[in-house]
Amino acid sequence: MNLDDVYNWILGHSQNYPGKHQESQPRTIASYKPLEAKAQFHIVIKATAEYIKEKMLNGNGVNMKELGAFTMEVNSDYVKPLQHSGFNMTQDLGIQRAERKHVHQIRPCFVPDNSFKYFLARYPGKEEITKPLSQHSIYQKGFGMNFCNAGPIAASCYLGKDVVQSIHNSLIKAIHDLTRLGHNLNIDFGFIKISVINRDLKYKYEQSFINRLNQTDYELKMRQSDLATSQHWTTTYQEKWSKSTLNNLLTRPNPGQVQDNYEKSMALKIMSLDLNTAEKTDYSKKQKVQLPALNK
């Protein structure tokens, strides 16, 4: 079963997955017409995949509650000591780091949640990721973990935040139920494919996505903040949102053009009315109409 089949399963079993995702919900912008229930699933999950992809390219991981964590680990080969590595004090540090960039490779991972592991027979073990010693939280699965925020996803889809949360909860619950029932799943998020065959979980990231991760400076991306404290707090939310790929996920239509098209369609509906279907009255028979006299 792919994602489309999972959507049909959720909509076909409304008694097991109640919520706002079962019906068409209004959009936050009047220029957009309401979508069908299944179309809402497609657009929200696509925006969720773009959100996770953007966070990982910025050096952060994303933890979806009760599903798993999309994170990464840095694999470093053995290097020579400084006195044997040919370190040049007169050369720029950034140039030397670029020359030794092949030493560090970023490996993206997917760590299933404990509630999801309960329904699985086999899955990659917890030793797959080496947890940094400075991170003591039990929810920390990798570097710079963030929980999946439904706010930016809802803003990019022009839907309510509660609708996005309802879709996420129903999708994760359906994945748990289908895995427990023994169905084979093929969850394709675009940049990662998660498969559950005979309750055996496997995943595979796209090679192009892995190459983009390795092209970034991991030391620069995996810090808490690249900006100074004063710049971090003075940067507005609009400036951060304008740089996000979610902002360009859907093109906003011209409100004036949408209103003109709406008025034209209403005018065509009025012009196409059949006079035979109008209500029949005896007004002309009971009252004589006095027409003006013609001047000859």
- Examine residue 268 and state whether it is found in any structural domain, yes or no: no
Quote the domain boundaries for residue 121. 3-255
Q: What integer pLDDT is reported at residue 175 of this predicted model?
A: 92
- Per DSSP bridges, beta strands 145-147 and 61-64 are parallel
- Examine residue 292 and state whether it is found in any structural domain, yes or no: no
Q: What is the pTM of this model?
A: 0.70
- Examine residue 79 and state whether it is found in any structural domain, yes or no: yes
Residues of the chain with pLDDT under 50: 83-84, 138, 220, 223-225
Asked if 206 and 196 touch (Cβ cutoff 8 Å), the reply is no
Buried-exposed string 23-56: b where 16+ CB fall within 10 A, e elsewhere: eebebeeeebeebebeebbebbbbbbbbbbbbbb
- Examine residue 267 and state whether it is found in any structural domain, yes or no: no
Q: What integer pLDDT is reported at residue 272 of this predicted model?
A: 73
Number of compact structural domains in the chain? 1
